[in-house]
Amino acid sequence: MKEKKVLIIGSGIGGLATSIRLSKLGFSVHVFESNDFIGGKINSKTFKNYRFDMGPSIFTEPYLMDELLELSEQKTITFDYSLLSESCRYFFADSHSFTLPVGKKEVSLKIARELGEDEEKVFSYLDRMEKNYTAVAPVFIHVSLHKIKQLLNKQILRALKRLFKYGLSSSMNKVNASYFKNPKTVQLFNRFATYNGSNPYETPGMLNIISHLELNKGPALPKGGMFMITQTLYDIAVQLGVTFSFNEKVERILYSNNRATGINTIKGDYLSDIVVSNMDVHFTYEKLLKDFPFHPKKILAQEKSSSAVVFYWGIKSEFPDLGLHNIFFSENYKKEFKSIFETKEMDSDPTIYVNITSKIEKKDAPANSENWFVMVNAPINVGQNWNEIVSVLRKNILEKLSKVLKTDIESLIEVEEVMDPLKVEALYSGKQGSIYGNASNSRAAAFYRHPNFSKKLKGLYFTGVTVHPGGGIPLALNSAKIVERCVKDDFEL
């Protein structure tokens, strides 16, 4: 039998994982990347002896990487990571700060002591999120919602039994406010909406399950930094015989008689049996299928997720009060999200996230120095003056961090690079700088992401954070599993 060919557009984590899974099914796989580096947002750059992970910095469910290694059967490739004993260090507007550990009992006790909550109630909340996640994952995260054969599995009844415990009819904020009496506790749990670029005051309470992964199970850090996730997947793919073409931008998806037949790049046409897009689903249609008459208009018209502004600062000092993950909360969280999603402005007092991998990976910064990844959630680009916004934002961030840490931070910066929504769109093809495609700011949005296959073009599949099941590393890796299953069903493998 003639070997079937797969062409994958983009080498983000979804594309890399899909290349491995389809290669193991016996397909000849070729990945096309418009940049000169792998990994999409999960890439690494070094500026004057300071190494930075340029994108995602939270890593949960590392078993998904272990699973790919086991599937690949590549004994010479390893992926090492450490499980963290603390999830994050929190700094509130009134100068109150504390470090949150990992584990239901430990987190419950800490929140009770620091924020005056009832310990048993916190534990009950975390336990509910664990049970919700365990029930919903097999019928929402691990399978296609658009294939009855996959959706109607033996786990569906357990998921339906908990239907009224997910918080589908309430916002994340309303669910959290009903559990906790301290506004700081509510703010702490509300922040998990940002993990897929959504608004906690609009997104359904279902998304509170995200807290289970970070607080109950805990985050991890790959040895060598986050970019080792995509580097490892690339190494596996190469070992399996996957071909990679860099600096080769895909310009069109080719199709004939309602079937995808290949792609056209800046170098010419490539024919195949399967095409997989790891590109933002909006741009897949707008740029690669612009003449195709059947765009999913309702899905593409949904509200976009937030973007981000990131400062990469090489700091010539060390701060013992900071850890790997640090959050400096805004005083008015609701106002901050109104700015991001309604007025499309940067709030003057944004919540600041500071990630410092050199706390664990000492080689990421020179001696007695630290590599600060300083991020704030930002609106998508709708024509704002980003040079001016970034300038004002930098001043506000420095003022806030200097006040909290009682140090002149600006005087310690010896390396500086910046990422903004314009660069997010240019580098990673996120429409308007959106990081996760569509936001989940409605009751149905989480269930209304683009499927992992085309209903109009046979042989066309979708992977990555802008399609089902959603944003974040674990969900992107799961999207690859769903594509694999769809391909197996469609090709009767």
Q: Per residue in 414-438, pLDDT tens?
A: 999 999 999 999 999 999 999 999 9
Q: How far from 45 is each of 35, 413, 433, CA to CA, in Å?
A: 14, 17, 20
pLDDT of residue 83: 96
Neighbours of 67 (CB within 10 A): 14
| Cα torsion 252, 240, 453, 135: sign | negative
* Predicted local distance difference test score (pLDDT) of residue 168: 81
Is residue 116 scored above 90 in pLDDT? yes
Q: Residues 326-334: what's their mean pLDDT?
A: 98
CA distance 230 to 17: 9
Give the pLDDT mean for 397-406: 98
d(CA 50, CA 164): 49
- Checking if the pLDDT of 258 tops 90, the result is yes
Task: Give the pLDDT confidence score for residue 149 in this predicted structure.
Answer: 74
**For residue range 160-189, what is the model confidence (pLDDT) as tens digits?**
778 778 788 899 999 999 999 999 999 999
**pLDDT value of position 470:** 92
pLDDT at 139 over 90: no
- pLDDT attached to residue 1: 52
Give mean pLDDT, residues 385-396. 98
**The predicted structure's pLDDT at residue 446:** 67
Per-residue confidence (pLDDT) for residue 26, from 0 to 100? 96
Alpha-helical regions (H) of 240-270 = none
* pLDDT higher than threshold 60 for residue 351: yes
Would you list the DSSP string of 187-216?
Answer: HHHHGGGGGGT--TTTSBGGGGGHHIIIII
Percentage of the chain with pLDDT > 70?
99
How much is the mean pLDDT over the chain?
95
Tell me, what's the pLDDT at 331?
97
Q: Delimit the domains of the chain by residue range.
A: 5-81+224-302+438-490, 102-216, 304-428
Integer Cα distance of 186 and 132 in angstroms: 19
Q: Characterize the bridge pairing of strands 460-462 and 274-277.
A: parallel
52 pairs with which residues across the strands?
Answer: 45
Q: Which residues contact 439 (CB under 8 A, 6 or more apart)?
A: 196, 197, 198, 199, 203, 302, 303, 304, 305, 306, 341, 445
Give the pTM. Answer: 0.96
Is it the case that residue 250 has pLDDT exceeding 70? yes
The topology (CATH level 3) of 5-81+224-302+438-490 is FAD/NAD(P)-binding domain (3.50.50)
Structure tokens at 124: 């009950």
Please give the average per-residue pLDDT across 52-56, as a whole number: 96
Q: Residues of the chain with pLDDT > 90: what percent?
A: 90
Q: What is the mean pLDDT of residues 199-228?
A: 96
Per-residue model confidence (pLDDT) at position 349: 97
Averaged pLDDT for residues 291-304 = 93
